A and B are shown apart, each in its own frame.
Chain A
Amino acid sequence: MLKDKVAIVTGATRGIGKEIALRLASNGAKVIGIYARSDNAASEIKEELNKEGYDINFYKGLVNDREFVHSTIKEIIEQYGKIDILVNNAGINRDNFIFQTVEKDWNDVFQTNFGGTYHFCNAVIPYMAEQRRGNIINMISVTGVNGREAQTNYGCSKGAIVGLTRMLSRIYSSQGIRINAVAPGMIETEMLEHVPDAKLNNFVYHTNTKSLGQSKQVANTVLFLAQDEDSYFTNTVFKLDGGFLR
């Protein structure tokens, strides 16, 4: 499906990002994963996928480090010659009520989630514009769509990514670059470990499917968006939330 496509996935060593990287690679893409800390996880994924004949490589660095992002994109272009797909998945949370949120937590979350997405888009778009072809998928969250208590920094950063998706799509969709966002609901990953059971149960109760989502389901949506080059989809926020609160 994605044979010879070059895809970048940020936050690719765990959870949803790892699943997306695996799915794109197993469908023929040459995947470049970006990660911040987990050297072991990156090595294991690379070894495992390379054994199966899939093409995956990793770069280590912080997505909110603009110089790292731009130099990495330059290296990728030198090595692969093009970038077809960018999946901005890297994100963190530091949950607290707004009146208790300290500046560091606000800035760390905002700069990683929004800043990281912005830097990658800004670095990749000139190459995609030159190719007159490209596909950007920004991972947001149901929090960015519906809001949630004690996640003002996270929700705000994800909302700003919706706005970034809007702005870039308005400028570049006519130049062959499709830019969409995916808003997963409560997905069963390690990020849920700190969520109290009562809260999770209430979330599931208000979800049509009566279940948590799975990383594989998110990866399927990303694959759908990534492969469909003739698609008319752009500037759309795909809510992948099992029908939460609807």
Chain B
Amino acid sequence: MLITNCQQSFNRLIGQYYLNRNYNVVFHFDNENSKQKYETELSKADNNTDNYMLITNNNIDFNSLEKDMDIINDYFGTIDILIHGNEMVDETKFFLEDPIGLERTIEKLFERIYLFNRVVTSRMIKAKKGKVIFPLIFDVLYFAGYPSSPMLNNGKISLMKCMSHELSAFKVNVNAMTLGYFDEDFDSATKKALKKKLEIFALKPRLLPLKDLIPALNMLVEPPVSTIGGENIHIGAGTETVI
């Protein structure tokens, strides 16, 4: 399993969860500092070092990613599951502060997603198996004050559907999972007020920490049937990405 954007803690939690389920996990970082910090953290914990690999690539392009894939292939074999780690960008805040920077960032991030897809799926189609998963955070939570990424989310959902159309022919399943409202260590007063706002989705919404929503990904990582593709599964009553 390859997880991208592991400089974000949420994506490392996904990797940790699957490490605990005895998957071989590759944590991919875009900066060495984050990688080294996490390497130290992992080595302190009682993990089997044979089951994981940490890679930094701070200049992601086609050739460098091909090299990364060769390294992974030599160690673990073909990648079975690609998880596009969430970039956790607060687009509205970014737009209001630096609209030009946001446009460049969105284009850069989608170029990275494309490059990962290209190098990984070109191997998956030869193996005629694989899964590509996009974990998203429900961007309508913007109204409740959560950071939101509507451009990344909707771009990924459309990309996921297009990929699913073409890759199902090679037995590669491509899906997204949109995680709804969650607890970010809110104090009880904040949580109470937030729950009131979130009642627009469902009465008395239960706010679990984001890490407790991660097991939901298993619906896509270990699907009950092999033909689930092109889905954007929502976690959280009343949440739905409407296009």
Contacts and interface: CB of A to CB of B under 8 A. Distances in A.
A171 B155 contact: no
Interface band, chain A: 35 or more
Contact of A237 (B118, B148, B243): B243
16 contacts: A66-B100, A66-B103, A107-B111, A110-B110, A110-B111, A115-B107, A149-B165, A150-B166, A155-B161, A156-B159, A159-B155, A159-B159, A160-B110, A160-B155, A162-B243, A170-B142
Interface of A: 66, 97-99, 101, 103, 106-107, 110-111, 114-115, 118-119, 122, 143-160, 162-164, 166-167, 170-171, 237
Contact of B95 (A101, A148, A167, A237): A167
A54 to B, nearest CB: 33
Q: Which of A99, A145, A149, A171 has the most CB of B within 10 A?
A: A99
A159 B165 contact: no
Contacts of A145: 158, 243
A237 B158 CA distance: 14
Contacts of B91: 163, 167
Interface band, chain B: 35 or more
A105 to B, nearest CB: 10
Contacts of A153: 114
Contacts of A159: 154-159
Contacts of A119: 103
A167 B162 contact: no
Contacts of A164: 150-151
Q: Which of A111, A118, A160 has the most CB of B within 10 A?
A: A160
Given A158-B158, A162-B243, A166-B150, A147 B111 contact: no
Contacts of A143: 158, 162
B152 interface: yes
A163 B142 CA distance: 13
B221 interface: no
Contacts of B62: 103
Contact of B117 (A98, A110, A114, A149): A98
B106 A160 contact: yes
B150 to A, nearest CB: 4
A99 B167 CA distance: 10
Contacts of B159: 152, 155-156, 159
B16 interface: no
Nearest to B140: A166
A153 B107 CA distance: 11
